[in-house]
């Protein structure tokens, strides 16, 4: 039986194919002779309890100048697909939430949705680490400005970041002696109306922010250390960091073992956790990246590992 796969993603014409993890997945699915279909989130809709998408048959090629081809769009019921990959990038806003509602209808009708729509809603990529305090540095989540200022005074150097962004967007370092720290806190929390995450600064960021990919609870044995430019704070590749592949440490494996049951229980087939030094900082499940970088550096096929798990779930 030919497997029908739909991918929900941002416009495919705007991706950087040579480093896009969703594209790596599509290449692997096509190698397996799966039928590929392409959907953008704004083309989804529901009629009388059934979810649909304006859908195009998709063909991909590992070619940086012409990496995809689509046929004419058709309106197709999502339940007709065996597998649906939800790979839209954040921001995680109400439109994203509505998309998970639509995908849940497809799941309830028999489609395998990856990652699970309920998990996408419930497992916030920043907040989820609070379930594993043993793996983390001191962390505060609040919109209360006074609490944040007290946290800064206690830990002297801290990081603040929004709860719904990606790629290092709007992440700032604040020092206890900074004269404008209150203004930064006011702006980040929108005068106490928006919840943010505050963490003790981890100086090992100079050695890289490690992205560890986890497939159905099991980590890929290599991480991509995203190393900041000299004098910079962020290692994210989107923020100009340099990616260097490294083997997982004993501590990395321990962190993965601590969160494994939660990932499996929530049907999170593909996650990308971030580790700085010895500490877990995020659990990314919306559209984790770094497949192509790790594949290239270590002659891997991470997408094949993921699709082996998907095929096993379909049997």
HEC string for 112-167: EEECCHHHHHHCCCCHHHHHCHHHCCCEEEECCHHHHHHHHHHHCEEEEEECCCCC
Which has the closest alpha carbon to 17: 8, 5, 25? 25
Q: Is the pLDDT of residue 142 over 90?
A: yes
pLDDT of amino acid 90: 86
Residue 201 to residues 119, 156, 168, 294, 313, Cα–Cα distance (Å): 28, 9, 15, 27, 40
Q: Is the pLDDT of residue 237 over 70?
A: no
| Strand-pair partners of 83 | 5, 112
Radius of gyration of the chain (CA): 20
Contact criterion met (CB below 8 Å) for 90 and 126:
no
pLDDT of amino acid 214: 98
- Tell me how far apart the alpha carbons of residues 178 and 13 are, in angstroms, rounded to a whole number: 43
Contact criterion met (CB below 8 Å) for 30 and 60:
yes
pLDDT of amino acid 239: 58
Q: 270-285, pLDDT tens digit by residue?
A: 999 999 999 999 999 9
The sign one gets for the Cα dihedral 269, 71, 31, 66 is: negative
Q: 8-32, pLDDT tens digit by residue?
A: 999 999 999 999 999 999 999 999 9
Q: What is the DSSP letter of 192?
A: T
pLDDT of amino acid 91: 84
pLDDT of amino acid 230: 76
**pTM tops 0.75, yes or no:** yes
Q: 180-236, pLDDT tens digit by residue?
A: 999 999 999 999 999 999 999 999 999 999 999 999 999 999 999 999 887 666 656
Give the mean pLDDT of the chain: 94
pLDDT band of residue 92 (cuts 50, 70, 90) is: confident
- Tell me how far apart the alpha carbons of residues 84 and 111 are, in angstroms, rounded to a whole number: 7
Q: 49-58, pLDDT tens digit by residue?
A: 999 999 999 9
Q: What is the DSSP letter of 6?
A: E
Joined together, the tokens standing for residue 15 give 């991706």
- Helix (H), strand (E) at residue 305: helix 302-314
pLDDT of amino acid 242: 86
């Amino acid at each position: 039986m030919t497997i029908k796969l739909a991918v929900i993603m941002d416009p495919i014409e705007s991706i950087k194919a040579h480093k896009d993890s969703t594209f790596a997945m599509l290449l692997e699915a096509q190698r397996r002779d799966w039928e590929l279909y392409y959907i953008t989130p704004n083309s989804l809709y529901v009629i009388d309890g059934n979810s649909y998408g304006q859908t195009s048959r998709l063909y991909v090629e590992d070619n940086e100048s012409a990496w995809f081809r689509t046929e004419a769009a058709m309106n197709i019921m999502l339940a007709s697909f065996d597998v649906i990959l939800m790979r839209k990038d954040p921001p995680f806003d109400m439109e994203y939430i509505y998309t998970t509602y639509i995908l849940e209808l497809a799941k309830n009708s028999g489609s395998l949705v990856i990652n699970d729509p309920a998990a996408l809603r419930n497992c916030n990529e920043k907040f989820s680490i609070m379930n594993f305090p043993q793996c983390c540095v001191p962390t505060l989540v609040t919109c209360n400005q006074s609490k944040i200022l007290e946290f800064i005074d206690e830990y002297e150097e801290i990081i603040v970041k929004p709860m719904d962004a990606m790629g290092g967007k709007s992440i700032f370092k604040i020092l206890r002696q900074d004269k404008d720290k209150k203004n930064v806190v006011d702006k980040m929390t929108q005068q106490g109306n928006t919840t943010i995450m505050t963490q003790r600064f981890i100086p090992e960021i100079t050695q890289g922010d490690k992205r560890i990919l986890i497939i159905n609870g099991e980590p890929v044995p290599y991480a991509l250390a995203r190393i900041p430019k000299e004098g910079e704070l962020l290692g994210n590749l989107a923020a100009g960091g340099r990616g260097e592949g490294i083997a997982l440490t004993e501590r990395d494996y321990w962190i993965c073992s601590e969160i494994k049951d939660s990932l499996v229980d929530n049907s999170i087939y593909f996650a990308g956790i971030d580790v700085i030094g010895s500490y877990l900082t995020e659990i990314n499940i919306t559209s984790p990246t770094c497949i192509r970088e790790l594949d290239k550096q270590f002659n891997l096929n991470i997408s094949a590992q993921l699709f082996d798990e998907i095929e096993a779930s379909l049997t």
